[in-house]
Amino acid sequence: ATVGSVAVTQPALFDEWLARYGAKRLILGADVKDGHISINGWKEESAIGLFDFLKEYITDKGVKNVLCTDISRDGMLEGSSVELYRSIMKAFRRCKLIASGGISNINDIEELNAAKVPAVVFGKAIYEGKLSLKEVTRKFLSKTK
């Protein structure tokens, strides 16, 4: 399950879920705009900074999986926030980051791969015909790259 707003608005409940289901079964949603976590479907910006949020949940509470969406780029097909994701991977080396927002072509995915980002959301690029699943599979999952 992906959990975002609850981790901000009801941290005790999120902690309970961590204890009940384990860190491997939950994905922490980190929707970010201008360095702060947004909540409630991106309608509200919290006062919590992204890196403080990630430290609390990854370093302090043992969360493993994070879906981070740069909402200023989501759906825009104008390229990913590679530096943001590179910074996250540098600060939280064991994080299983899923980068989301702005992917427009195979080059964007290659840049994130070079930044050691383990997973990427690229749905809009496929929907708009900018990228094919076959192309991504051939490039990243084929044994005969």
Tokens at 90, concatenated: 């540098």
Residue 1 has pLDDT above 70, yes or no: no
pLDDT at 15: 96
pLDDT at residue number 74: 67
pLDDT, average across residues 45-58:
95
pLDDT at 144 over 70: no
Hey, where are the domains in the chain? Answer: 2-141
Per the CATH hierarchy, to which homologous superfamily does domain 2-141 belong? Aldolase class I (3.20.20.70)
Q: Output the DSSP codes for 113-143.
A: HHTT--EEE-HHHHHTTSS-HHHHIIIII-T
Three-class SS state of 6: helix
pTM recorded for the entire structure = 0.89
Closest CA to 54 of 100, 97, 6, 83: 97
Structure token digits, residue 63: 């969360």
Give residue 3's Cα distance to chain centre. 12
Q: Using CA atoms, how far apart are residues 120 and 23, in angstroms rounded to an integer? A: 20
Which pLDDT band holds residue 112 (cuts at 50, 70, 90)? Answer: very high
How far is C-alpha 119 from the geometric centre of its chain's CA atoms?
A: 8
Q: What are the φ and ψ backbone dihedral angles of 46, each rounded to 5 degrees? A: -85, 170
Mean of per-residue pLDDT scores for the chain: 91
